[in-house]
């Protein structure tokens, strides 16, 4: 059974700091992995999608990596800003319409 774990559960950093959020999964047989951002009381916004054959994806200040063999993905945020404060979730697509979500990392960037 696929399990997805995100560490840390919460993180508080000063503005401008580079940071890494971690996501691990127990079964490497995945179709893809997706990182989302959720603001309080809102839906999820897709940040990056990494297919199983890819190693990383980049969008602006965000870079996500995928190491399927070790069951790990990281989301790197460069030069963090207060507007980056949100909950970040990773989601593993295992196929068959099944997507397993991590519990999320709550990020707070202090001005």
Partner 1 sequence: GAVVSQHPSRVICKSGTSVKIECRSLDFQATTMFWYRQFPKQSLMLMATSNEGSKATYEQGVEKDKFLINHASLTLSTLTVTSAHPEDSSFYICSARRGRDTGELFFGEGSRLTVL
Contact set with partner 1 (CB under 8 A): 31-32, 34, 36, 41-46, 49, 51, 89, 91, 93, 95-97, 99, 101-104
Is the Cβ of residue 10 or residue 79 nearer to partner 1 in the bound state? 10
Is the Cβ of residue 77 or residue 89 nearer to partner 1 in the bound state? 89
**Contact 79/66 with Cβ under 8 angstroms?**
no
CA proximity to 2, closest of 92, 72, 103, 105: 92
Is the Cβ of residue 3 or residue 15 nearer to partner 1 in the bound state? 3
Nearest distance in Å: CB 102, partner 1: 7
CA distance 62 to 47: 8
Query: Is omega for the bond preceding 66 within 30 degrees of 0, making it cis?
Result: no
Nearest distance in Å: CB 30, partner 1: 10
Using DSSP's 3-state secondary structure scheme, residue 31 falls into coil
């Amino acid at each position: 059974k696929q399990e997805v774990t995100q560490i840390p559960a919460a993180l508080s950093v000063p503005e401008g700091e580079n940071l890494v959020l971690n996501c691990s999964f127990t079964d490497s047989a995945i179709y893809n992995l997706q990182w989302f951002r959720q603001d309080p009381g809102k839906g999820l916004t897709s940040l990056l999608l990494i297919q199983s054959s890819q190693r990383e994806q980049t969008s602006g200040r965000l870079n996500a990596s995928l190491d399927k063999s070790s069951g790990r993905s990281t989301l790197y945020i460069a030069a963090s800003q207060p507007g980056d404060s949100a909950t970040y979730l990773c989601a593993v697509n295992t196929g068959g319409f099944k997507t397993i979500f991590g519990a999320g990392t709550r990020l707070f960037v202090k001005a």
